[in-house]
Structures are given as C-alpha cells and as structure tokens.
Structure 1
Amino acid sequence: MKNAKLLKSVLAGTGLLFALTAATQAVAQGKTLYIGMNGGPMEKTFAEFVFPDFEKETGAKVVVVPGTSSDILAKAVAQKDKPQMHVIFLDDGVMYRAINMGLCQPLQKSAAFDELYPVARLKGNMASGVTMGMTGLAYNKKMFDEKGWKAPTSWADLADPKYKGKVVFQSLPSSTFGLHAFLMFNRVQGGTDANVEPGFSAWSKMVGPNVIEYIASSAKISEMVQTNEAGLFPLTPTQVALLKAKGIAIDYAQPKEGSVVLMVAQCVTANNSEPELAQKLAAYLMTAAAQEKFLRGGSYIPSNPKAKADNAANEAEVAQIKTYMNTAVVVDWDAINEKRPEWNTRWNKQIER
C-alpha cells in the first residue's frame, strides 16, 4: 500500500513537472532571443551544438547577432533605451565597460552559477565567464631546439638580449594579448595595473630591441613561425594547441608570475523585452551540460570546471587549463579601462612611432 501511494505521488510529481515544462514552452513558444557574440567559428559552434537543446526545451528561437566585442558593445550602447539584443558575449575587459555603462542586469543565481570558477563571476554577479583562457608566452619550438634554448619561464624573458629580433608583439591598442603581456612586464618592473610608468620607462631599452615586428592581431604569428622569423610572443594555450594541430612547431610556456585570465563573458542586457527568458538562456549557458557541447563542438574551454571532455585531447587541454588557473592573474579592468585611451596614445607615440 505504501509503495502504491509512493508511486502515485511520484507520478503526480512527474505530471506536475511535465505540466510546468509544457507551460514554460507555451509561454516561450514563438519568441526569439537575440544574442550578440563573435561570428565565425564561435557562432557556428554555438548555433550547431549549444542552442538547439535550449530551443527544444523552451520553444524559443535563438538568433546570433555576429560581431567583435567592440561591435557588440557599440550596438548595445546605441540600443540602450530599447535593447534589441537580450544577451551579449564580450571579452572580459570590454564586459567591465558594459557593466559600468549600465548595459547589464544582475544574473539570477543558480546551481550552475555557483559551480563556475570564482574568477568567472564578474563584478557583483553582473556577468559571468562562459569560455576560459589565459594569455601566457608561446615560442617557436624549432628555433629554440636549433639554438639550444630552454623554454621561457618569465615575462621578464621578453627582455632577454638573446631574443634580439625574435620577439613578435601584439599592439597594445588593438590586442588584449599585447595589453596582458605589457601589464605583466610592467609588474615585473614594479608597476601595477593603475601605474604603468615602470613598464613604459623600461620597454624601449629592454624589450624594444628584441621586437622584430608589432602586429595588429595574432593572425600573422603562424606565418612568422613557419618562416622562422618569430621566436617568442604572447599567446593563449588554446591558440597554441590549434596551431600545433596544424603541424606548426610552436609550444606554450606558463610564466612563473602567472598567465593572465582571458574570458569571453556574458550578460543579460538591462531593460530588454524578454528578461525572464534571457535569464534562462544565460543560466543554461553556465551549466556543465551546455559547456560540454561547445567544448566538444569547438574546443572552447569551459568556465564550469564540472564540464567533461569526450576525447583524450580535449580532456588533456582542460586538465592543463585547470593547472594554469592555479597561478593565473586577474587584472584590474576598472583601472585599466579608465586609463587605456591614454596608454594607447602613449604607446603609438613612444613605442610604435
């Protein structure tokens, strides 16, 4: 009799769950959520592997508004009074700007939110990291082997005279990689994220002579490694893994001072037309289940450490990232964003003149 009552209770609860799910689907049916995010591989991966389950569960449709972080931020600013995007993906530094401009609303707490790496919970829970990465040092394995050089171990190695004419560096105004590396070199010189005078004062005489070229983005690095021009440069372990998979002789080195955390973060836009559904999408994208899909579909590293890989290569990369996270540095984006225009101007006049 007790078992019969228990079964009846379970069935009743299951029926209620189905009813609630059906009700949620009915409310969301026919609605469209617009998410601003990087186009290309990221858009393809999320559209193919991640969004379909959310759409199936809710009955809503997710449409990507593609663009760089700068593009998406500009759109969000222009639409501030009447947002057309419900969720936006931005590089973490740009996300801090968006939060300070009042473009985001607080994320609703969830079990998945609590599972994220602590550094992936941004500024009073206004945003969360979705994909994790970090900027460290990478090097031309072929060149290093030929010259008998050991792998670099410190950001200070950018100034080692033996690398004269072998350092490739991303321009500060256009690259987060370059900014991260400059800030870490600045720290080695005694500076802080709010005081970059030591870095600027030392750069021209210590690192400058080693730089063969300042580049706008990292796209040129693979070519310069293959022609044996580039020896040492800032890069992420994920980018290194992608280039190695193409047969390029490159390797990653975690500096002893730590790499710099680099995330793609998400926020739900303030005053958007579908706040409840947008929060539901943001919560879904933090779950291990959703993040396993973009890890497997596009090798994007999860911000939820409970996400599991389905192949040995991804599993090894995720395990390595977890190790790097133990010494990874989080920079002060509020201080940086306040001064960055000034730094960019100074960089152009003093460093890349």
Structure 2
Amino acid sequence: MKFAWFGLLMATTALAGAGSAQAQQKTLYVAGYGGSYEQTMRKEVIPAFEKANNVKVEYVAGNSTDTLAKLQAQKGNQQIDVIIVDDGPAYQAVSLGFCGTLTDAPIYADVAPVMKFKSNKAVGLGMVATGLFYNKKVFDENKWPAPTSWTDLKDAKFRKKVVVPPINNTYGLHALIAFAQLGGGGEKAIEPGFKAFKDEINPNILAYEPSPAKMTELFQNGQAVIGVWGSGRVKAFADTGFPAEFVYPKEGGYTLGIAGCPVEGSKNAAEANAFLHHMLSPPVQVAMAVGGGSGPANMKVVLTPEQQKGLPYGEQVKALKAVDWDTANEKREEWTRRWNREVER
C-alpha cells in the first residue's frame, strides 16, 4: 500500500511537472504571406523551429499591407512577434517604429549586402521578381508569340483577358512604376504610369486582383491569359501542372525583397530574433526556394539547376530593377487614393 501511494505521488508530481513545462511553452506569432509561401512555412520551416526552441508558432497569413495595418491597429500592445512582408512595407514598418533591433548572429555575415537594412531593424529573407506571366497552352493554340515587354499588356488581342494586382500590392505598384518609366517618368514623376493604365491598359483588364487564389482561378477557368505577378507565385502555380510561364520583360523586371523584422515591444524578442536566424539558415533557404519560390538571401546557399527554375538567381538578379522606396512610400497613400478614383473605378 505504501509503495502504491509513493508511485501515485511520483506520477502526480510528474504530471504536474509536465503541465508546468507545457504552461511555460511560449507562443510566437508570425505574420506572413498566404498561399504557397504559407504552406511551405507550415510544412518545412515551423515544425523544426518549434522542436528546437520549445516554442509554439502561430502563423497569421495575410498580404503585406494587411500585416502593416495589424501593427498599426495594435500599436502599444503588439500581439505579433515577427513580420514577413514585402520590402516596401518593411521600410514603412521600420520608419513607423514597429521593428525592433536585430540581435547579432553569425548568420548575418552570410547575407547578401543588398538584403541588409541600414537601420539594422529588418533583414531580407529572400527575393522574387515581378514581371509578366501567361498561359503557354492558350498562346500556343492561338500561335501568339510569347510576351517579351511590359507593353504587351496594351495589345488589343488581350481585351478583358489581363489580370494585374492593385497598387496596394507590390506587384501592382511595380507595374505602375514600370509604365511611368516607359513614359519617361518614374517614382518621382508617376503621371505616365497612370496615363498608360487609364488610356491603354484598362480596356484589356479583366480584374485588378489581389488574391493569389482568385488569380489562379481566373487563369484556370480560361478568363485570363496574361498578367503581372511575382516569379514565386508563378513557380508555385506552374508546379501544380498548369502551363504558366514567367517572363522577365526586356525593359527589366523588378526585385521584390521579402523582409523580416522582430516587432518592437514583443514579449518574445529573443525567440523572434531566433526565428529570423532560422529563416536565413541554408536548409530553410533551400526549402523556401523550392516550395515558396523565394530566391535565397544567404550567399552561401547553392541551388541545383532544377531548384533554380523560375527563381531570380545568379545572373538574372543583376538584370532586375529596384524601387526608390523613400519616394514610393511617401507617395503611396496618395497614389492609392488616385488609383481607386481614376483607374479601378
């Protein structure tokens, strides 16, 4: 009886200890992209981090402007610990004071200089390219040549068959800047971009579509045949077996940096920084390249020819343009209001 009581006491103590360990397990909230990026994060990235750090990761999916809006809504009482957003919104998050300082780690020595933020409050985790994409099967059937230029979006044969994300999405903003530059302007002179969309591209637009799921649906049901999107998104779409092809326009595509930052005021700052170190580790960089369509930020990561397919990598990266984010972010709200009023009516 005495032994039975002692055994029961030990078992109860063990259960109490297990409960205590479970209670102490922290929850890290990571806000990042949805779609194929989210799937790869949940399958290939998060489980290993949880196991190594005894942390539960809650992934909050949304586009970059949604994530920035959440930070603004939660100002002074942040619920998010880490954000993964486009480079433009990342610069905004830093300037608004939402990003904490990165803790030093050896992994940062391996990060490409172009992926580093001077503020040391955010870091590039990878990159995709913005360009054109099209349904190769439909083009072949119609004997249409593959698109090569941004100006192909103006071609009358694509009437109501073009899909472009709106400009609160970085892909759409890149397209607006591309047409401004083609018209002799740019970030500091955006008028030619608005004129091109209003007068020449709008007749061909089926939808200004922000949702990745809806974008693929419009192509799958045959309504859309050409559009503007990111290389990572197109790679994920093509990986499903759909005949989607990405095109680097001859005038130049645009670099879209994927950036991460630990949120200022996070109660889990150490774990937030550890998560960013994890994201930059070679195994995760390869996983995000293959599954998430993200070109690596870690210079020591080498991809096989098969893994490179559809990614900005090596020589292709040199041909990409970068956005003047200081100007674009300052004007973005004004441009978005104008876009909603004049273009997406």
Alignment of 1:316-327 (within 5 A): 316-318=309-311, 321-327=313-319
Partners of 1:269 and 1:78 in 2: CA distance:
14
- Cα distance in 2 for partners of 1:219, 1:200 equals 27
Matched residue type, 2:307: N
Q: CA deviation at 1:234?
A: 0.4
**Contact 2:131/2:230 (<8 A) preserved:** yes
Which position in structure 1 is the counterpart of 2:296? 302
**Where in structure 1 are there 5+ consecutive unaligned residues?**
1-25
Contact between 1:36 and 1:85, CA under 8 Å: does it hold in 2? Answer: yes
Q: Percent identity?
A: 37
Structure 1 position 88 matched with structure 2 position 83: yes
Matched with 2:72 is: 77
Partner of 1:210: 204
| SS of residue paired to 2:30 | strand
1:338 paired with 2:319, answer no
Q: Which of 223, 230, 235 is the equivalent residue of 1:241?
A: 235
Which has the larger displacement, 275-284 or 334-343?
Answer: 275-284
Rate the CA distance shift 1:93–1:62 in 2: closer, same or farther, 3 A.
Answer: farther
Alpha-carbon distance, 1:161 to partner: 4.0
Q: 2:224 aligns with which of 199, 223, 230?
A: 230
2:93 is matched by which residue type in structure 1? Answer: A
Question: Counterpart in 2 of 1:133?
Answer: 128
- Matched residue, 2:340: 348
Alpha-carbon shift at residue 81 of structure 1 (Å): 2.8
Question: Following TM superposition, by how much is the alpha carbon of 1:162 offset from its aligned partner in structure 2, in angstroms?
Answer: 4.5
Secondary structure of the structure 1 residue equivalent to 2:85: strand
Distance 1:158 1:110, change over 3 A: same
Report if aligned partners of 2:35, 2:213 keep a CA contact under 8 Å in 1: no
Residue equivalent to 1:250: 244
Q: Which moved more, 1:128-137 or 1:333-342?
A: 333-342
Contact 2:46 2:57 in 1 (8 A): no
Report deviation, 1:110. Answer: 3.6
Q: Secondary structure at the match of 1:150?
A: coil
Residue in 2 aligned with 1:117?
112
Q: Is 1:50 equivalent to 2:45 in the alignment? A: yes
CA, structure 1 residues 349+75, in 2 after alignment: closer, same or farther (shift >3 Å)? Answer: closer
Q: How well do the aligned residues superpose, as a CA RMSD in angstroms?
A: 2.9
Q: Distance in 1 between matches of 2:201 and 2:98?
A: 38
Alpha-carbon distance between aligned partners in 2 of 1:243 and 1:70, rounded to the nearest angstrom: 23
How far apart, CA to CA, are the structure 1 residues paired with 2:196 and 2:105?
46
Determine the C-alpha separation between the residues in 1 that align with 2:208 and 2:27.
43
Q: Deviations over 1:35-94 (max 9, x none)?
A: 23345654453344323444444x430422413134433333344334333322222222
| TM-fit CA distance, 1:315 | 4.1
Aligned-pair CA distance for 1:299:
5.1
Matched, 1:35 2:30: yes
Secondary structure in structure 2 of the residue aligned to 1:105: coil
- 1:132 is paired with a residue whose SS is strand
Are the structure 2 counterparts of residues 297 and 236 from structure 1 closer, same or farther at C-alpha, using a change threshold of 3 Å? closer
Deviation, 1:197, is: 1.0
The letter for the 2-side match of 1:314 is: Q
Q: Which residue of structure 2 lines up, in the alignment, with residue 220 of structure 1?
A: 214
Please give the per-residue CA displacement for 1:188-245, whole angstroms capped at 9, x wherever unaligned.
1111113211211233222223334433434334344344432321022222222223
Is 1:66 the counterpart of 2:66? The answer is: no
- After TM superposition, give the deviation of residue 330 of structure 1 in Å: 1.6
Contact 2:236-2:292 within 8 A present in 1 as well: no
Residue type of the alignment partner of 2:69 = A
Partner of residue 3, structure 1: none
The one-letter code matched in structure 1 to 2:226 is: L
Given candidates 227, 243, 254, the residue that maps to 1:260 is 254
| Rounded Cα–Cα distance in structure 2 between residues aligned with 1:55 and 1:222 | 32
Distance across 2 between alignment mates of 1:43 and 1:49: 10
Q: Which secondary structure state, in structure 2, belongs to the residue aligned with residue 122 of structure 1?
A: coil
Deviations 1:94-115 (A, max 9, x none): 2122111101123234442232
Bigger mean CA offset, 131-140 vs 159-168: 159-168
Deviates more, 1:238-247 or 1:187-196: 238-247
Q: Which amino acid letter does the alignment assign opposite residue 223 of structure 2? A: E
- Distance change >3 Å, CA 135–CA 299, structure 1 → 2: closer
Which consecutive residues of structure 2, in runs of 5 or more, have no partner in the other structure?
1-20
Matched residue SS, 1:193: coil
Q: Which residue of 2 aligns with 1:270?
A: 264
- Asked if the contact 1:225/1:248 (under 8 Å) is kept, the reply is no
- Alignment partner, residue 185 of structure 1: 179
Secondary structure of the 1:244 match is helix
